[in-house]
Structure 1
Amino acid sequence: MGFEGDEESSSPQILTKSPFRYNSPLVQVSLIGLVCFCCPGMFNALSGMGGGGQLDSTVADNASTALYTTFAIFGIIGGGVYNILGPRLTLFAGCSTYVLYAGSFLYYNHYKDQTFAIIAGAILGVGAGFLWAGEGAIMTSYPPPGRKGTYISIFWSIFNMGGVVGGLIPFVLNYHRTTASSVNDGTYIGFMCFMSIGAVTSLAILPPSRVVRDDGSRCTNIKYSSVSVEFVEILKLFLNWKMLLIVPAAWSSNFFYTYQFNNVNGALFNLRTRGFNNVFYWGAQMLGSIGIGYIMDFSFKSRKTRGLFGVSLVALLGTGIWAGGLANQLRYSRNKVLDKLDFKESGSEFVGPFFLYFCFGLLDAMFQSMVYWVIGALADDSETLSRYSGFYKGVQSAGAAVAWQVDNHHVSFMRQLVVNWSLTTLSYPLLLVLVFLAVNDDVHDEKKFIDETRKEVNSSIIT
């Protein structure tokens, strides 16, 4: 089965330099950003409240464990599904599962039965695997080779605006409920409305064969793929040295969410302040993605040098921020509970933990955008990059599944912090090795790539 719309790919195309064409990379990356604004963005806001908006984090921990367990499996095979079904069906199927998950917490608000939430979490893991594999392929293959960092930052900014808006929903709707045990029904209903919009918007994404860059080049025109081909290609990823070097970064990149959401935001702040904090946490992600995107695309002429500098910079900032986390963690533990902080009433005591949480958001965006840039620099065709992105999300989700259960088994906050810091630190030298060995300088590569794709376009026009 080929991508929908492939039958049109051989028809003449009128090229224009306007970046706002519907079939331009800018518009398509912005659309996938909007899809993720509505679905994963709202999911992030829901998770970021700590405990899924519940005082007791047990149900959120168990639902998240089920989610990331299935996500680990379907994230890896999601790239193959994308290559068989194409972006629209893959993304729509993935987005539809987010609504069910938010609805399960609405159900829990009334009946206090976590079974539905756990099942919905497992189903969301399947859908998220499809969505993120497709998103990764689009974000890394649609842009021009030398501007992938810029497009990743555009996507990440739009996507994380969803977390900002999603953080405002519980903040506004629960502003006067400072002692409530859970957010109100309207919070979950608001999330469900946005998620439904995201599912519909996913149908507007074009297949790569119909995306034309400003210079006339376009993404790989994949004619078809099959289950057997994708099965073999996915298995090969586990023997691919490039992917093996990414494993620590992938594992750690969602592992730290549990600690940040439950054991910093959830443990230190009251309900309305968690929503307030999330507005700035996801806002910091927008700043972080823009900053690292500029560095990875424009800091040096050589693409390899930009990659090495970007990884080193993130490593330096990450070390400083986790050191700040350690200083904060020395003040409290599971057995030494502090009074909940409120953004209006706690005064100067609120500033330090709030700034740390803000920095955690900044680091998350810089870390993940940097990793996506590295993945995007390993290839240019969406078929390969969908598999690479799926592998990254699968390993990432396996780490998250473990992290949520670690917290559910009441492992000390300090041990969780040390593990998070150690995992991210381990990933930096391996990424530096990967960039040094596998990322080529882009001047020659871009010219060759543009020439080849331009020939393809001219050939199809003549045909």
Structure 2
Amino acid sequence: MSDAQAEVDKLGSSSSEDSGSQRAEIFDRPTGWRRYYYHPITQVSMLGFVCFMCPGMFNALTGLGGGGQVSTTDGSNSNTGLYSTFAFFGFFAGSVNNVLGPRRTLMLGTWGYSLYIASYLAVNIHPGAGAFVVAAGPILGVCAAFLWTAQGSLMLSYPTEAQKGMFIGIFWAIFNLGGVVGSAVAFGSNFNSMANSVGNGTYVGFLILTLIGVFIPLFMANPDKMIRTDGTRVNQVRHPSWKTEFFSLFVALKTDPWILLLFPMFFASNYFYTWQFNDYNGAIFNIRARGLNNFMYWTSQIFGSVFIGYFVLDQKKLRRRVRAFYGWIIVFLMVFIVHVWAYFYQKTYTRAEEAATGAYKIDILDKTYPAHVWLMIFYGFLDSMWQTYAYWLMGAMSNDPAKLAVFAGFYKSIQSAGAAGVWRADGVGLPYMNIFLSTWCLTVAGMLFALPMVYLRVTDHTDIEDETLMQMAGVERIEPPLVTTTEKA
């Protein structure tokens, strides 16, 4: 008996519906060094480091408020263009991913982050180059659509059903280390700065890291060579025509219309960044406090994603439907905790007051600072729990990489549409309180719309009938799984 077969037999004897509900054709996993290189955790970790280097540095820069600049106008306008193009190309990025393959799509998406960081360095050297920042945003939006769609397809297809929460948590922890390291660099290099913007060294460091991220996909394994820990192959899509691939967008909606109930949750998932970073962190703190806030925010994301991914969503003692409801309750409660808390701070300042010459900025040595930084920490918890739960819900709907690629494209496209709107509102000077209240309302609405989908669509395991996209799109599977449905426990 092979090691893989023995592992599946062991999993099949457990009480979890996730792992014991189906029997599929089993393959031997590689031996020697290939066993570790082709291990799903290794590949998901490498995927995490791609996002560590590229989106992680972007997050560290954005989290400083205005990209670390005194004026947030160019940054807000750039982000408007970024998320607008992201929203458009996100709807088609799943199709591009299925044609080019996730590694090529991933590499295509990384270089835009280097260009974006370089634009801020140019502004620091030549203050009149703000148009470069604004132009770099839409270009990054196209690249980001490709990167995040490839990421979502890989992250959700490598694990077994019982491991999806853990794999999402692993990826999210490594990815957010990028924000932690980047914000630590920004905090340390600007600790003694009396200016209210970061220095050139910070941007140069970020630029070097993003360039490293461009080349990591070259060293990743092709998914068609991957075998999961239970011995089953990672289902891959052959290269069909572009016509078939674009038709898959319609097929995904037709075969799984419940995804529509997650669209409000998707829309809100990047909306709250504007108030957190520009209208709170960027508005009332000096540069070193902004750096420390940013560091604490991204650090808390690591713990938040691991907590909800591993200890809640992958809790083996509970059925998957029960875990889905527990996850919903935790995220919903966190939404109200952080927004009620933030409301009492937002009442104390306005955009006009903070923009006034000589307005006092909170420093890390002030007595009021600890309470304010704790709010950033809890916002970090909320963000990581929100994103992890959204990905987990999509993963609970299917194991089909083609379908998951389309779902991930929907997710990033719709969340970017929301972000584009709120960054534009911030760029034209909408009152802070208006942006805050709209953020609160949208997060509540997103959770309420998701609840019927959780109740009606999330089952204790994913049946083969749920994986219909490739068959309906006329795409033949590689190594069709031999499945026998067994009675539910």
In 2 relative to 1, CA 455–395 (structure 1 residues): closer, same or farther, beyond 3 Å? closer
Q: Select the residue among 197, 203, 218 that pairs with 1:182.
A: 197
Structure 1 residue 340 corresponds to structure 2 residue 361: yes
Do the aligned partners of 2:238 and 2:478 also contact (CA within 8 Å) in 1?
A: no
Alignment deviations for residues 380-422 of structure 1 (CA, whole Å, 9 cap, x no partner)? 0211101100110000111111110011111111111111111
Give the CA deviation at 1:162: 0.3
Alignment deviations for residues 30-76 of structure 1 (CA, whole Å, 9 cap, x no partner)? 11101000000000000000000100001100111111111111122
Structure 1 residue 88 corresponds to structure 2 residue 107: no
Q: 2:198 is paired with a residue of what secondary structure? A: coil
Alignment deviations for residues 415-442 of structure 1 (CA, whole Å, 9 cap, x no partner)? 1111111111011122221122111102
Alignment deviations for residues 284-311 of structure 1 (CA, whole Å, 9 cap, x no partner)? 0001001110201106521111111101
CA distance in 2, matches of 1:316, 1:104: 39
Unmatched 5+ stretches in structure 2: 1-26, 468-476, 483-489
Q: Select the residue among 313, 322, 326 that pairs with 1:305.
A: 322
Instruction: For 1:214-229, list aligned pairs within 5 A.
Output: 214-229=229-244
CA distance in 1, matches of 2:96, 2:448: 32
Give the CA deviation at 1:242: 2.1
Structure 1 residue 405 corresponds to structure 2 residue 424: yes
Instruction: Tell which deviates more after alignment, 250-259 or 202-211.
Output: 202-211
CA distance in 2, matches of 1:396, 1:101: 20
Give the CA deviation at 1:455: 7.6
Instruction: For 1:186-201, list aligned pairs within 5 A.
Output: 186-201=201-216
CA distance in 2, matches of 1:333, 1:20: 57
Alignment deviations for residues 107-141 of structure 1 (CA, whole Å, 9 cap, x no partner)? 11122222211221111001000000000111111
RMSD: 2.3
Q: 2:228 is paired with a residue of what secondary structure? A: coil
Give the CA deviation at 1:198: 0.7
Instruction: For 1:198-209, list aligned pairs within 5 A.
Output: 198-209=213-224
CA distance in 2, matches of 1:162, 1:216: 32
CA distance in 1, matches of 2:172, 2:34: 19
Alignment deviations for residues 64-105 of structure 1 (CA, whole Å, 9 cap, x no partner)? 111111111112211111100001210111001110000011
Q: Select the residue among 97, 121, 125 that pairs with 2:137.
A: 121
Q: 1:308 is paired with a residue of what secondary structure? A: helix
Q: Select the residue among 305, 317, 329 that pairs with 2:334.
A: 317
CA distance in 1, matches of 2:135, 2:253: 29
Do the aligned partners of 1:220 and 1:381 also contact (CA within 8 Å) in 2?
A: yes
In the alignment, what sits opposite 1:75? 90
Give the CA deviation at 1:18: 9.7
CA distance in 2, matches of 1:369, 1:18: 31
Do the aligned partners of 2:28 and 2:231 also contact (CA within 8 Å) in 1?
A: no
CA distance in 2, matches of 1:259, 1:236: 36
Give the CA deviation at 1:275: 1.1
CA distance in 1, matches of 2:235, 2:181: 35
CA distance in 2, matches of 1:455, 1:117: 47
CA distance in 2, matches of 1:193, 1:341: 31
CA distance in 2, matches of 1:17, 1:390: 36
> Aligned residue pairs: how many?
440
CA distance in 2, matches of 1:319, 1:94: 35
Q: 1:186 is paired with a residue of what secondary structure? A: helix
In the alignment, what sits opposite 2:394? 375
Do the aligned partners of 1:93 and 1:127 also contact (CA within 8 Å) in 2?
A: yes
Do the aligned partners of 1:216 and 1:454 also contact (CA within 8 Å) in 2?
A: no
In the alignment, what sits opposite 1:414? 433
Give the CA deviation at 1:445: 4.8
Give the CA deviation at 1:335: 2.8
Give the CA deviation at 1:342: 1.1
In the alignment, what sits opposite 1:131? 147
Do the aligned partners of 1:39 and 1:195 also contact (CA within 8 Å) in 2?
A: yes
CA distance in 2, matches of 1:456, 1:16: 24
Do the aligned partners of 1:173 and 1:186 also contact (CA within 8 Å) in 2?
A: yes
Do the aligned partners of 2:90 and 2:146 also contact (CA within 8 Å) in 1?
A: yes
Give the CA deviation at 1:19: 11
In the alignment, what sits opposite 1:268? 284
Letter in 2 for 1:255: Y
Q: Select the residue among 340, 364, 369 that pairs with 2:383.
A: 364
- TM-score by structure 1 length? 0.90
In 2 relative to 1, CA 335–221 (structure 1 residues): closer, same or farther, beyond 3 Å? closer
CA distance in 2, matches of 1:36, 1:224: 26
Alignment deviations for residues 180-231 of structure 1 (CA, whole Å, 9 cap, x no partner)? 1421111111111110111100222333321111221121132223211121
Structure 1 residue 169 corresponds to structure 2 residue 185: yes
Do the aligned partners of 2:166 and 2:314 also contact (CA within 8 Å) in 1?
A: yes
Do the aligned partners of 2:30 and 2:38 also contact (CA within 8 Å) in 1?
A: no
Structure 1 residue 283 corresponds to structure 2 residue 299: yes
